[in-house]
Amino acid sequence: MIEEQSENTNNKEENVSEENNINEDSPLIEDQTNENEELSEESKDKVNADDLKNTITNNDARLEQLEKEHQTLKSQYVRIAADFDNFRKRQSRDQDDLKVQLVSKALTAILPIVDNFERARQQLKPESDEAQTLHRSYQGLYKQLVEVLKQQGVAPMRVVGQQFDPNLHEAVLREPSEQFNEDIITEELQRGYHLEGKVLRHALVKVSMGPGQKNSQEPEEKDKVEEDIDSESTISENN
């Protein structure tokens, strides 16, 4: 019994000593664990910082690429918009030109009828009442025709006394004139017309060449020589 008690006592003492050793070593273990945890956190923070830096770099590169693509698309849009605007203006201008051409073609075909009306008005001199009535009817038709032309933008040219312009006029005759200077229109042979500021038909005109040449000095000199000869012959006869 005594031996068993002594063994239990010894065992207790050993356990106590082991516990004391464990208690003495526990602060060291805790410190080591804390250091390992701090190192682990630092490494994690470093990894997170590197990842964040890489992410920012990638985002910056991606943003720069997107800005370049945006500028490219913007330039393409501006160019396409300008091309479309030019196309729209060109189409509108072509349509206007086509409209003017069609109207010009139709009105040009009507102008000879207007010329015939004007010739008839100048030539007809109604005397009887019946002729007067017919003349008034004719004048009414002529006025209606002129009004229609005016509504379409047709305006007659006024050329007599104007400077000759080959862009507006066509010279049929040129003759000397004491009344008009050179290249001044003296007579209208066929009326010209404008359409919306453009020439619908050129006017056929007669153009002045200026005053005719006056007597040159040669006849005067000839007369003077003849007078001298006559005077000399008279002197010789007297002698």
Asked if residues 141 and 177 have their Cβ atoms less than 8 Å apart, the reply is no
As a whole number of Å, the end-to-end CA separation of the chain is 215
Q: What is the pLDDT of residue 215?
A: 41
Instruction: Report which DSSP code applies to 213.
Output: P
Half-sphere exposure of 71 (CA within 13 A, CB side): 5
Confidence grade of residue 29 (pLDDT, cut at 50, 70, 90): low
Q: What is the pLDDT of residue 235?
A: 40
Enter the pTM of the model.
0.53
Asked if residues 174 and 189 have their Cβ atoms less than 8 Å apart, the reply is no
Q: Give the pLDDT mean for 157-168.
A: 92
Residue with tokens 């160019």: 79
SS3 186: strand
- For 12-21, 58-67, 89-98, 218-227, which range has the lowest pLDDT when averaged over its residues? 218-227
Asked if residues 186 and 208 have their Cβ atoms less than 8 Å apart, the reply is yes
Q: Give the pLDDT mean for 16-34.
A: 54
Q: CA separation (Å) from 36 to 24, 33, 212?
A: 20, 5, 126
Q: What is the pLDDT of residue 83?
A: 92
**Burial class, 205, CB count within 10 angstroms (exposed 0-12 / middle 13-18 / buried 19+):** buried
Q: Give the pLDDT mean for 205-224.
A: 62
Q: Give the pLDDT mean for 154-174.
A: 92
The pLDDT of residue 121 is above 80: no
Confidence grade of residue 171 (pLDDT, cut at 50, 70, 90): very high
List of domains in the chain = 45-152 (no CATH), 153-239 (2.30.22.10)
The pLDDT of residue 20 is above 70: no
If one compares 162 and 132, the residue with the highest pLDDT of the two is 162
The pLDDT of residue 228 is above 70: no
If one compares 27 and 121, the residue with the highest pLDDT of the two is 121
C-alpha dihedral, 178 to 183 to 188 to 193, nearest 10°:
-160
Q: Give the pLDDT mean for 144-154.
A: 89
* Average pLDDT value for the chain: 76
Confidence grade of residue 229 (pLDDT, cut at 50, 70, 90): very low
